[in-house]
Amino acid sequence: MGTLGCINDMLQRDKENRELRKRNREMMADIYHRLLDTGKETDLSQVTVEKLEDIRRKTLEKEELDKAANFKAMFYLALGMALILLLVWLLVGCSGKPSGNNQSTIRSDSVSITQDAQTISVHTQDTICHLPVATQSVKDSVFTEQELQKIQNELRERYAHSEIKGTRLDGNIWGWGVYGNHLIVNLCLNSPEARAVFRNKIMDSPAIRFEGPTEPTPNNQRYTSDTLGIHLYPEFSAYPYTAHTATFILFNQSEHEIECGDPYRITYEDQHGVWRTLPIHSVFNSIAYIIEPGKRNLFKADLNPNVLPNRPGRYRFFYEIELMDKRQKITLMTEFRLADIKEAVRDSSDVISVEYVNYPR
């Protein structure tokens, strides 16, 4: 406020000085004209020179003072504006500046869940669904990029020595890594049970985020199992619903050499008649098999029952091949069944029931 008052005073004095110069000019003009009217050349010359010289000198002095006053006014005005901008910048910077050092940071929340005298931890951005909880407490945590790398290294060591066999996490993790501001763990099925097992048996850190489908996605795709003399069929028509693997045969009765690899997909029909993708690993070894005409190949597929316990019912197996001479890719599909049996059978007509049994998952 003091700076603004000083500026106002200087502007007022500048206005007064301009009015004074105007009056001086008017007075000079008046004196000049009156002296011309007297007709006395000698006195006119003397009076005109003296008066004009005095007025000119005073006017020049006044102009110098005015320039100095204007310079001071502009200086104080610029200084005031700079101080105001600096104050605004400091206020905005302090309100938006995160705590910590200059390294990139990440902010996340973790939720502690107490259930039946056992405490587990899940993340607030996880889909908790309807897990019964007694108490929840949320805490903010800040991690640097270097700390995230340390957490990832620690996760690698703990996973190598973890005891998760037979749990919902067995066969469920297909990778992890630091992406952006989080340590992302990729799951085949991102279920609340799997996340709880991970935090309880491997690592509990608010820096961890889980990615993957929270439920099996609908998939009603269909393809042929026999084309151009190439056949795909299961080794057995029915397997126990508790089986971990199923075997399939690719028989090449065409005139083409075919190339195939490890990738495959499996879908199943749920109790409502909706076909869904079975949660299995989508990362496979990069390998190629060449099957010549008249040859066949037997390979095994993982049913991943620990991630999502399988029910008896219909299943579909999808497999992609390529005709080597035509560079033509073909997707084949064959159906098989899981049943309430102890061993796989080639003829399932006597063991498959058309009624779905509500087996718990």
With 0.75 as the threshold, say if the pTM is over it: no
Within the chain, where are the H helices? 2-38, 41-96, 145-160, 192-201
Strands 313-323 and 230-234 come out as unpaired
Dihedral, CA of residue 145, residue 148, residue 152 and residue 153, to nearest 10: 70
Which of 233, 222, 302, 321 is CA-nearest to residue 269?
A: 222
213 vs 359 pLDDT, higher one: 213
d(CA 310, CA 339): 10
pLDDT at 294: 94
AA letter at 7 = I
pLDDT at 242: 93
Which of 6, 146, 159, 133 is CA-nearest to residue 77?
A: 6
50 vs 76 pLDDT, higher one: 76
323-342 average pLDDT score = 94
Over 60: is that where the pLDDT of 122 sits?
no
d(CA 106, CA 143): 5
The predicted-structure confidence for 212-242, as pLDDT tens digits, reads as follows 999 999 999 999 999 999 999 999 999 999 9
- The string of DSSP letters for 181-222 reads TEEEEEESS--HHHHHHHHHHT---TTEEEES-SSPPB----
Pair 104, 145: CB distance under 8 Å = yes
Pair 351, 339: CB distance under 8 Å = yes
333-361 average pLDDT score = 68
336 vs 59 pLDDT, higher one: 336
Retrieve residue 317's tokens: 């197996």
341 vs 354 pLDDT, higher one: 341
Helix (H, G, I), strand (E, B) or coil at 94: helix
The predicted-structure confidence for 260-295, as pLDDT tens digits, reads as follows 999 999 999 999 999 999 998 877 778 889 999 999
pLDDT at 52: 63
Pair 109, 209: CB distance under 8 Å = no
Phi, psi of 120 (to 5 degrees): -120, 170
Handedness of CA 246, 175, 163, 209 (dihedral sign): negative
CA atoms within 13 A on the CB side of 135: 7
330-347 average pLDDT score = 92
Retrieve residue 333's tokens: 């599909």
pLDDT at 136: 33
Q: Domain 226-339 belongs to what architecture?
A: Sandwich (2.60)
56-79 average pLDDT score = 77
pLDDT at 56: 67
Helix (H, G, I), strand (E, B) or coil at 100: coil
Q: Choose the weakest-confidence range: 53-57, 177-181, 323-327.
A: 53-57
Which of 51, 58, 59, 57 is CA-nearest to residue 33?
A: 51
What percent of the chain lies above the pLDDT cut of 90?
39
118 Cβ contact partners less than 8 Å away, ≥ 6 residues apart: none
Retrieve residue 277's tokens: 């993708």
The CA-based angle 67-69-75, given to 5 degrees, is 100
196 Cβ contact partners less than 8 Å away, ≥ 6 residues apart: 113, 120, 122, 131
Q: What is the mean pLDDT of the chain?
A: 77
Over 70: is that where the pLDDT of 127 sits?
no
The predicted-structure confidence for 129-155, as pLDDT tens digits, reads as follows 333 333 333 344 667 888 889 999 999
d(CA 99, CA 147): 16
Over 50: is that where the pLDDT of 314 sits?
yes
115-124 average pLDDT score = 39
Pair 263, 280: CB distance under 8 Å = no
Which of 300, 295, 196 is CA-nearest to residue 253?
A: 295
pLDDT at 160: 87
Retrieve residue 68's tokens: 């100095």
